[in-house]
Chains A and B, each alone.
Chain A
Amino acid sequence: MNDGFLETGATRSTDLVLLLEIAMGVGLLIGAVFARKRRFRLHAWCQSIIVVLNLAVVVLVMVPSFHVNVLPKIPVKLGKAYYALAAAHAALGSVAEIGALYILLAAGTKILPPKFRLTEYKVWMRSILVLWWIGLLLGLATYGRWYVHR
């Protein structure tokens, strides 16, 4: 009956998304190391694949779940930790994903007009990486609050 495999109360898809998100977070750090080693092509591929894969996970799994389970309860029940955590994770995660997509478009394509292109790539990339990881940690906390027995 769609039982998860991590011995918590979660569904299989939730467990899968959790592992995938942790892997993507680690993958972004590895991608950052590629940049430090001046292997920019590898860095670009690594970060691009992760950002696009995360977009798919967000659109296909997280948004529908948030829409059904959390959105109807906010802002009224934001005082409850499990909704507050989920809302904070969604807000920060969205900013990080949109920021990452913007960097992909600005750095990897010529779609954006020159005035919208970035100049300080390093600052933006590092900021988004930090935001991404804070969002990931909030996601882990959300998982723990919703699915782990106390």
Chain B
Amino acid sequence: MRKCLQRTGFVARAMIAGTLLVAVSSGVNAQQPSNAEIKIDNFIFGPATLTVAAGTTVTWINRDDIPHKVASTDEVFKSKALDTDDKFSYTFSKAGTYPYFCSLHPKMTGKVVVQ
């Protein structure tokens, strides 16, 4: 009976420790900076809507054969003219929706949703 209780206690402690370990490690993962990419090609941002976690750095890459400029509609971020294969990055620290467009070709629009 005593052995059985000891075994039960050991199992319970192991489960708690395991749970804590998982919780801690998942917490560490959530805080790790992550990256996402948006390609610019043929006058289109792809994906047009990107959903990321707060703290994510989003990089726009111009794969088109003409310059483009990434500009937030709310003036949160703005790139210089990006030539072919040029990149522009911005880290989204706050949750929210960030619509943006190409200031050279305003019909080109996209959106980053930060959760």
| Segment from A2-10, A100-108, A111-119 that makes contact with B | A2-10
A124 CB within 8 Å of chain B: no
Contact B106 A2 (CB under 8 A): yes
CA distance A145 to B102 in the complex (A): 16
The answer, among A9, A68, A77, for a CB contact under 8 Å with B108, is A9
Main secondary structure of the interface of B (DSSP, over half): loop
A126 CB within 8 Å of chain B: no
Contact A82 B43 (CB under 8 A): no
A36 CB within 8 Å of chain B: no
A37 CB within 8 Å of chain B: no
CA distance A68 to B104 in the complex (A): 11
Q: For chain A, which range describes its interface: under 10, 10 to 19, 20 to 34, or 35 or more residues?
A: 10 to 19
- The residues in B between 71 and 115 inclusive whose CB is less than 8 angstroms from any CB of A are 73, 80-81, 83-84, 101-102, 104-109
A80-B83 contact, Cβ under 8 Å, with A10-B105, A146-B104? yes
Q: Which residues of A contact B67 (CB under 8 A)?
A: 69, 82, 146
Closest chain B residue to A7, Cβ basis: B107
CB distance from B101 to the nearest CB of A (A): 6
A11 CB within 8 Å of chain B: yes
Closest chain A residue to B69, Cβ basis: A69
Binary CB contact string for chain B from 53 to 70 against chain A (1 if under 8 A, 0 otherwise): 000000000000011000
Contact A11 B43 (CB under 8 A): no
A39 CB within 8 Å of chain B: no
Query: Which of B73, B101, B105, B108 gathers most chain A CB within 10 Å?
Result: B105
Contact A1 B81 (CB under 8 A): no
Contact A1 B105 (CB under 8 A): no
User: Could you list 30 A-B pairs, sorted by A, with CB under 8 Å?
Assistant: A1-B73, A1-B101, A1-B106, A1-B109, A3-B106, A3-B107, A4-B106, A9-B43, A9-B106, A9-B108, A10-B105, A11-B104, A11-B106, A68-B81, A69-B67, A69-B81, A69-B104, A72-B80, A72-B81, A73-B81, A77-B83, A80-B84, A82-B66, A145-B66, A146-B66, A146-B67, A146-B104, A149-B42, A149-B43, A150-B42
